[in-house]
Amino acid sequence: MISPILLVAVVIGSLIIIHEFGHLIIAKLCRIQVETFSVGFGPVILRKKLGSTEYRLSLIPLGGYIKMAGDELDATTGFNAASFGKKTAVILAGPASNFLLGIILTVILFAGFGFTTIAPKIIPQPQAIQAGFEFGDEIISINQDTIRDWQDIENQFENLINQTAIFQVKRDNKVVEINYPITSDTLPFSAYVVPIIDRVKKSSPAHKIGLQKGDQIIQIDTFPVKEWSEFVELIRDVTIPTRYLRWQRGDQILDDSITITITKDELTQKKIGAVGVWVRLPEKPMPAINAITTSISRSFYVAVQTFVIIYKVITGEIPKSAIGGPVMVGKLTYEGAQWGIKYLLGLWAILSINLCVINLFPVPILDGGRVLLYAIESAIGKKFTKKQWEIAFYIGYALIALLLIFALSNDITRLIRR
């Protein structure tokens, strides 16, 4: 089996290589000479010249770069003399390559493993109970439209606001019909998910007591567990460090005490309990064309949510301690490897899309900042002087350095407080 540490190197390295490779390909298509393509910085470990480009592997694997002819600030030939359109295309090719990688990885995930769904079984809220819904009902149709999964329920609620809908639900092998007035797209019930384990994290508390894929949790301490959210709520309670756990495996009833691991939510930074298990959810096969279209839409959704999260950090809705640096990225990737290839592919795709988004920010040394400066030059019809470019880059370096120091300090704080 591949070492998780090696997988971390592969994931992070691929993001860098793909980014720089995007710059390289478009530069060559625009007939701009690329003198150097380097993975990493610092002393060169390996080098190979192919055509007019020297390809390097350097000692410090914290980035990479391409060196184009004429990309000096005062150059009058090569990249610096290219049109605004060509320069923009070369610069944006890096983030675009990361976004494309995110789509490809998501296509592999959906095509190879299927699409995870939530069965349309419900836990009704009081208003739904009054209308006749019961715990564990399975919604099979709304206004005669077949309901296949939870997403179908959400779509129906969005489309039928201010209408009274006819629900057909399956209950004890019988079909019951319920009329319910939909007043908003807020669902009057939550998903009922059977507490069956799908994955167990290696070296986790659950792994140590022998929990396996397919086991069904039936009791925690004196509390019977009928639904996954009940299990999660009890496990996340950090005030009780050890729990009595009972589970079913086939015809066997097993039990043991389990020590809760105290961790932190990466966004809220609140302490929560965890035991290292993942719930089993139905997966439906996805044809290749559907995998592609769904992956594209999901990738755009992740990109938008990345902007939203950054905005919430800036406005204080999410604590700034949630910002992480290289250590946090490595930790998440390492843990992703422990959960298995499916989880790792999803995380890999998200990291690639996140890198795309971050590089689009209007900070001078980032791709988005460089495009902004070239756009200003194009608008005013005059190139910035070498001194003006240097000032802009100094500001960019300072901002990135401050952000990196802040992120690394958060990483170190997390390690100290573990």
- At 305-363, the pLDDT tens digits run 888 878 877 777 766 666 665 566 666 666 666 677 787 888 889 889 988 998 998 88
Of 190, 199, 196, 245, nearest in space to 216 by CA:
196
Of 272, 253, 252, nearest in space to 263 by CA:
272
DSSP-derived letter for residue 385 is P
Residue 339 half-sphere exposure toward CB, CA atoms < 13 A = 20
Query: 7-19, pLDDT tens digit by residue?
Result: 777 788 888 889 9
Please report which confidence band the pLDDT of residue 281 belongs to, taking 50, 70 and 90 as the band edges. Answer: confident
Query: 18-32, pLDDT tens digit by residue?
Result: 999 999 999 999 999
Residue spans per domain, the chain: 1-32+73-115+291-418, 34-68, 122-191, 197-281
| Same-fold call for 122-191 versus 197-281 | yes
Please report which confidence band the pLDDT of residue 207 belongs to, taking 50, 70 and 90 as the band edges. Answer: very high
Please report which confidence band the pLDDT of residue 103 belongs to, taking 50, 70 and 90 as the band edges. Answer: very high
Instruction: Tell me which architecture the domain covering 197-281 has in CATH.
Output: Roll (2.30)
- For domain 122-191, the CATH class is mainly beta
Q: What is the pLDDT of residue 324?
A: 63
Q: Which 3 state secondary structure label does DSSP give 170?
A: strand
Q: What is the pLDDT of residue 320?
A: 64
Residue 286 CA to residue 157 CA, distance in Å, equals 25
Residue 284 CA to residue 293 CA, distance in Å, equals 16
Q: What is the pLDDT of residue 224?
A: 92
Residue 110 CA to residue 195 CA, distance in Å, equals 24
Task: Provide the CA 175 distance to its chain's centre, in angstroms.
Answer: 39
pLDDT at 152 over 70: yes
Q: What phi and psi values does residue 26 have, to the nearest 5 degrees?
A: -70, -35
Query: 104-126, pLDDT tens digit by residue?
Result: 999 998 888 877 788 899 999 99
Q: What is the pLDDT of residue 323?
A: 65
Q: What is the pLDDT of residue 187?
A: 87
Q: To 10 degrees, the CA torsion angle through 31, 36, 37, 40?
A: -150
Residue 291 CA to residue 294 CA, distance in Å, equals 5
Q: For all residues of the chain together, what is the average pLDDT?
A: 85
Identify whether the C-beta of residue 235 lies closer than 8 Å to the C-beta of residue 274.
yes
Q: What is the pLDDT of residue 60?
A: 76
Q: What is the pLDDT of residue 247?
A: 95
Residue 101 CA to residue 105 CA, distance in Å, equals 6
Q: What is the pLDDT of residue 219?
A: 93
